Structure 1
């Protein structure tokens, strides 16, 4: 048995270790106080041990950073992560608001124009004939799935979070409709990754077919996505 290479850093800086030290201190105090005919009440002991356990648990999940740096957030990393989280949530909410009217919400499973079983707002994953959902379940499902599609699209379009909101919403709506596999192999993503975002926006109308034929609803949706995309770029300049 031997110590890990960075044991000193872990021992001095890890939040989980600070929780262990605090728990040890609480137990020492609880043991020493009776020697002076003073006792720690059971209530206070339980509260302090619970707080120490919480610190240990949180420490195992957080980046193990120096305590003072975390409290001061000297690097700004915490603020940046929080802002990114809020920004992503806002983008997902905007995308949901754009997508839902185009997809429509149907509480009972149905077959789409190419025979795929679908339910709620265009959900096709694990959908079977006879499936039924409430409106609340459909709303939650759409929000979760849009967030998934955003994350998947970002894997092949790393600049996605840096694009104007309208551009992100247009691209997320498109990928939700056509699938991220097809989206990530597309000329649209290739152009966006090359910095030609206008060209990428203009690729959207090409994706208006299902089952090999042009669908009027898809044509209208792609035109709306392109308009949103180009307008957002114009406003950003």
Structure 2
């Protein structure tokens, strides 16, 4: 028989672990947004080495499992003399992976902007960086919000992989308590509820942002 009363006294610890999950997720999303913007600008650049590097980066990061990337950062870098804490290694791996997906989301947003706007701005004497900063990117960002939201939710769930490098986030904490109490179903269902609450809240925030930035037809 299932006994969820076993979980009750551990709820404060699960809440604390959920904050760690949120911290990793939010910081990774921010890293992914910044890195994705840099990568997409490199990708659409007329400078060939930059665009080739961006293509290679996206190809590798999207084409390999995030778990492999995480293990390379956490277990591989020490072989090169670079030792990172589990939290920092998870943050770097998740952020780099998100950057590749964000870059493609931004690319789709940029390509959705009519080319006539770029031509009109050039005819008015504006330079390329100014056009991108003041005209193209603001519109592309609005268009990209749904894709950014989906990637953010995916990243929040994928943050559970950090448990494999001993980060005391929600999944690892739930697993530890489940093992010590022999109540795997109860603790894993509770963890799933916590993840569902966090993804629901994130979805709500992103939809509010999308509605604020929406442009009436």
Structure (1 or 2) with the greater helix fraction: 2
- Give the TM bin, normalised by the shorter chain: under 0.3
Structure (1 or 2) with the greater strand fraction: 1
Q: Which has the larger radius of gyration?
A: 1
Q: Which has the higher contact order (CA 8 A, sep 6+)?
A: 2
